[in-house]
Amino acid sequence: MTFETRRIFKSAVTSQNLIRELLQLMFLGELLAPGGERAWLVSPWISNIILFDNRAGGFGTVNPEWGNREIRLIEVVMDMMACGTALGIATSLDDHNDPLIDALMMAADEAGLANKLSIVRREHLHIKGVLLKRGLLTGSMNLTYSGLELNDEMVVYDTIPKTLAEARINFESYVGAGT
């Protein structure tokens, strides 16, 4: 079965794990075949969410250093950058975002990967999207615990090359554009 676009409706009682599993597949794809164009995380509110539950060791072959524990966003994107994928993050000026942004900037600097990281803070940002090499996830969901676990959300996953290219052009326009 193949598809180019898929819509997912999530609530407290339906499709709870579907979006998390889709995000896992997207990030795994990038980790296993890194490089190319900049990956983008665009969300007015962003947190160091749990992306992988590796307590049973199921993702140990992706990165043996992860160990048997939950793996959070910062660790995954740091691995992506270490493997050669540049990362752009666009988020709002809200203080909620400061812990993730500060921790990610410090980790990238300590690992010598600061040149792979672009952070954009925008006053009126409301777009939400995760753009990786092979897919684009857009919709109502912020990259937060509430977005993944609590809120009713609708997201669209696209693999259409034209849609990915349009999103990339829009997201790349944030670099150097200011607030």
Read off the pLDDT of residues 15-68 as tens digits, 9 standing for 90 and up. Answer: 668 898 999 999 999 999 997 899 999 999 999 999 999 999 999 899 999 999
Average pLDDT over all residues of the chain: 93
Look at 155 and 11; give whichever has higher pLDDT. 155
Q: Are residues 127 and 92 in contact, defined by beta-carbon separation less than 8 angstroms?
A: no
Q: Which band of pLDDT confidence, cut at 50, 70 and 90, is reported for residue 2?
A: low
Q: What is the pLDDT of residue 7?
A: 87
Q: What b-and-e string marks burial along 1-29, b requiring 16 or more CB atoms within 10 Å of the CB?
A: eeeeeeebebeeeeeeeebbebbbebbee
Domain ranges (residues) in the chain = 5-177
CATH for 5-177 (3.90.550.10, 3.30.1330.80, 3.30.870.10, 3.30.360.10): 3.30.870.10
Q: Is the pLDDT of residue 118 over 60?
A: yes
Q: Is the pLDDT of residue 10 over 90?
A: no
Look at 106 and 60; give whichever has higher pLDDT. 106
